[in-house]
Amino acid sequence: MKNDVKVIAKAQPQSRIDSDLIGIATAALLGLFLLFAAGFAQATVLHDTAHDQRHAMAFPCH
């Protein structure tokens, strides 16, 4: 019930909601990009320097 009240109280105009969603999507994309570089990219330089970290975190490495 308390949460419901908070939701109503926090209701925002449409433009604010859209900018929130853009912010969330930007952060998620940034996270995925960094994760790809650190954990997935097979380019030799990235692979070699990230090698030990990938093994320690159990990312499929090579």
Binding site for other proteins (CB under 8 A): 3-4, 6-7, 19-20, 22-28, 30-35, 37-40, 42, 49-62
- CB 41, min distance to other proteins, A: 11
Q: How far is the CB of 27 from other proteins (least distance, A)?
A: 4
Of 4 and 13, nearer to other proteins (C-beta) is 4
Q: SS in 3 state form for the chain? A: CHHHHHHHHCCCCHHHHHHHHHHHHHHHHHHHHHHHHHHHCCCHHHHHHHHHHHHHCCCCCC
